[in-house]
């Protein structure tokens, strides 16, 4: 990340922090930030235009935009919303939704395309029993996606970039059974296109990796994803005790052939141990994702999950390691030094690998570091992490907690 981009991220977040710090504890800033600002939600009773600040996807950096929402009278399931985000790196995302939207802030819902399995279960709001269901239409433009090759032996000097553009047409539903257990489903059509990346510092992915699956053709996909989340944390936005466990199943089917079809299984478990005398917490995380190609199908490189960046393996570049399967373990020690300011030390380890025979604790990538967090009441919205690994030191600005 360039220094200028870091400064812009910091200024935007500090403006929101200043507002929150001046309000009553627990206030919600008028420009809500989220690592995956996947919902672009506003007060469900709100009618009109509201600004938005967030992150579109890994590598986009901070993005600015707006959403216009209208709520149908009574209980008619015809709420609608249009929204857009534009990042400082020219990443773009525009969307429209119609259906029962007013309850989605209190319901567990699967993310739209662009958010990865590493952040799928980053819920930050207390849930309430209820149903949310709507049609979701999105256009996205990701011009500078990193790709270093597949597997644990990929090299830092082989860094390339590619442009990913597309649209999604999906139906989304979520049902919150009670305050701690919810389920969600998302199904529809993905229309994707991969072209040369826009970062002139790096070779285009198609030039250095002409043979990886998905470089020559990008078919449309039918996708259906389901997930459940058990969340027993004390404060979802700033947990100090309890934990959560989420499980996801996703099926991708090439629309026109069987060249690219696979199932994905992911498990994300987190636990928080309070150290009350020190106003501190130990946060632990286990994450794994397994892709199972069907028949002779393959997993295209641009749909493969990845480790590295602001949420996993923070001692490495964003999206540093990609392949069919992921294994990640992380730990943080967090302590409040003054009101609204928290420091943390962390240790990350994990790997991306091709064959399930390598599903073990050998050959893990390792990183460690420290970070600074700014809070507004019980909401953590700005996070600065400095991570170190065998590939040097990396600085990551993010909104929202790592986990």
Share of the chain above pLDDT 70, in %: 88
Residue-wise DSSP of 353-392: ES-GGG-SSSS-EEEEEEEEEEEETTEEEEEEEEEEETTE
pLDDT score at 46: 54
What is the pLDDT averaged over residues 153-175? 96
Q: For the ranges 99-108, 275-284, 388-397, which has the lowest average pLDDT? A: 275-284
Residues 211 and 338: their CA atoms lie apart, in Å, by 53
For the domain 3-398, what is the CATH code? 2.40.160.50
Query: Quick check: 330 pLDDT over 50?
Result: yes
Query: Quick check: 376 pLDDT over 90?
Result: no
**Which pLDDT tens digit goes with each residue over 132-144?**
999 999 999 999 9
Query: Quick check: 386 pLDDT over 60?
Result: yes
Query: Quick check: 283 pLDDT over 60?
Result: yes
Query: Quick check: 21 pLDDT over 90?
Result: no
Residues 371 and 251: their CA atoms lie apart, in Å, by 37
Query: What tokens does 17 get?
Result: 């922090």
pLDDT score at 34: 36
Which residues, other chains included, contact 357 with Cβ-Cβ below 8 Å and sequence gap of 6+? none
Query: Quick check: 29 pLDDT over 80?
Result: no
Query: Quick check: 2 pLDDT over 70?
Result: no
Residues 52 and 401: their CA atoms lie apart, in Å, by 18
pLDDT score at 79: 92
**Which pLDDT tens digit goes with each residue over 345-358?**
999 999 999 999 99
Q: How far out from the chain centre does Cα 112 lie? A: 10
Q: What angle do CA 58, 60, 62 make, to 5 degrees?
A: 115
Query: What tokens does 154 get?
Result: 């990929």
Query: What tokens does 132 get?
Result: 């949310």
Boundaries of every domain in the chain:
3-398
What is the pLDDT averaged over residues 219-244? 94
pLDDT score at 38: 38
pLDDT score at 31: 38
pLDDT score at 253: 94
Q: Are strands 203-204 and 160-176 parallel, antiparallel or unpaired?
A: parallel
pLDDT score at 326: 97
**Exposure b/e, 334-349, CB count within 10 A at least 16 = b:** bebeeebebebebbbb
pTM, to two decimals: 0.86
- Of residues 123 and 229, more confidence is placed in 229
**Which pLDDT tens digit goes with each residue over 287-307?**
999 999 998 889 999 999 999
What is the average pLDDT value for the chain, to the nearest integer? 87
**Which pLDDT tens digit goes with each residue over 247-262?**
999 999 999 888 899 9
Query: Quick check: 4 pLDDT over 50?
Result: no
- Of residues 145 and 401, more confidence is placed in 145
């Amino acid at each position: 990340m360039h220094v200028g981009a870091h400064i812009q991220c910091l200024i935007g977040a500090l403006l929101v922090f200043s507002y929150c710090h001046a309000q009553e504890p627990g206030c919600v800033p008028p420009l809500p930030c989220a690592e995956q600002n996947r919902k672009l939600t506003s007060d469900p009773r709100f009618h009109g235009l509201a600004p938005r600040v967030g992150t579109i996807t890994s590598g986009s950096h901070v993005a600015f935009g707006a959403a216009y929402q209208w709520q149908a009278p009574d209980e008619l399931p015809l709420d609608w919303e249009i929204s857009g985000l534009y990042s400082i790196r020219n990443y773009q995302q525009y969307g429209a939704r119609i259906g029962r939207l007013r309850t989605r802030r209190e319901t567990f819902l699967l993310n739209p395309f662009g958010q990865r399995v590493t952040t799928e279960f980053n819920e930050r709001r207390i849930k309430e029993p209820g149903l949310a269901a709507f049609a979701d239409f999105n256009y996205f433009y990701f011009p500078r996606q990193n790709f270093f090759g597949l597997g644990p032996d990929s090299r830092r000097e082989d860094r390339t970039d590619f442009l990913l553009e597309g649209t999604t047409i999906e139906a989304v539903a979520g049902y919150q059974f009670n305050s701690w257990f919810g389920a969600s489903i998302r199904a529809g059509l993905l229309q994707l296109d991969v072209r040369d990346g826009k970062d002139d510092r790096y070779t285009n992915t198609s030039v250095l990796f002409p043979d990886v699956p998905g470089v020559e053709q990008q078919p449309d996909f039918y996708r259906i994803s389901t997930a459940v989340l058990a969340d027993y944390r004390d404060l979802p936005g700033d947990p100090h005790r309890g934990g959560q466990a989420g499980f996801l199943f996703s099926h991708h089917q090439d629309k026109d052939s069987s060249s690219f079809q696979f199932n994905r299984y992911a498990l994300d478990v987190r636990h928080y141990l309070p150290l009350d005398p020190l106003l501190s917490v130990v946060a632990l995380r286990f994450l794994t994702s397994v892709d199972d190609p069907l028949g002779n199908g393959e997993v295209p490189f641009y749909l493969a999950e990845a480790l590295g960046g602001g949420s996993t393996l923070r001692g490495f570049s964003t999206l540093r390691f990609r392949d069919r399967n992921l294994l990640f373990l992380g730990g943080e020690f967090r302590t409040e030094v003054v009101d609204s300011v928290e420091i943390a030390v962390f240790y990350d380890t994990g790997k991306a690998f091709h064959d399930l025979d390598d599903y073990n604790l050998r050959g893990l990538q390792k990183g460690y570091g420290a970070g600074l967090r700014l809070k507004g009441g019980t909401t953590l919205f700005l996070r600065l992490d400095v991570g170190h690994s065998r590939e040097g030191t990396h600085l990551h600005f993010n909104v929202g907690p790592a986990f």
